[in-house]
Amino acid sequence: MVVADLSPAVDVVTPDSWPSEKELSQYAAVVLSDFSGRELDETQREQLRRHVEERGCGLLFVGGGNVIPSRWKGNALAAMPGRLAEAIAEY
């Protein structure tokens, strides 16, 4: 019998230490917690959008006090299909 350690590795990354596109490709999922929509620059947002849409990475948004729907308008991540785009449209 072979027993494998299936514990996922978790990296906590701040916007200032955001990974390069090559480094980002190592992640199967990304969790954005309490992001207002302005923490990542245009290049970083586009890299993350491609990583999710083209490579199948999971993306989870966790709300908080900084989340203001109007700040997400025009954001490359907000244009992705899902509930976030619907919430912004309703705002």
Q: Check whether 39 has a pLDDT greater than 60.
A: yes
Q: Check whether 45 has a pLDDT greater than 70.
A: yes
Q: Determine the Cα–Cα distance for residues 57 and 72; give it in Å rounded to an integer.
A: 20
Closest to 64 in 3D by CA, of 27, 37, 83, 85: 37
What pTM did the predictor assign? 0.72
Closest to 72 in 3D by CA, of 37, 47, 48, 46: 37
pLDDT digits (tens, 9 = 90+) for 18-38: 999 899 999 999 998 888 878
Report helix, strand or coil for 57: coil
- Range scoring the smallest mean pLDDT among 1-10, 17-26, 39-48: 1-10
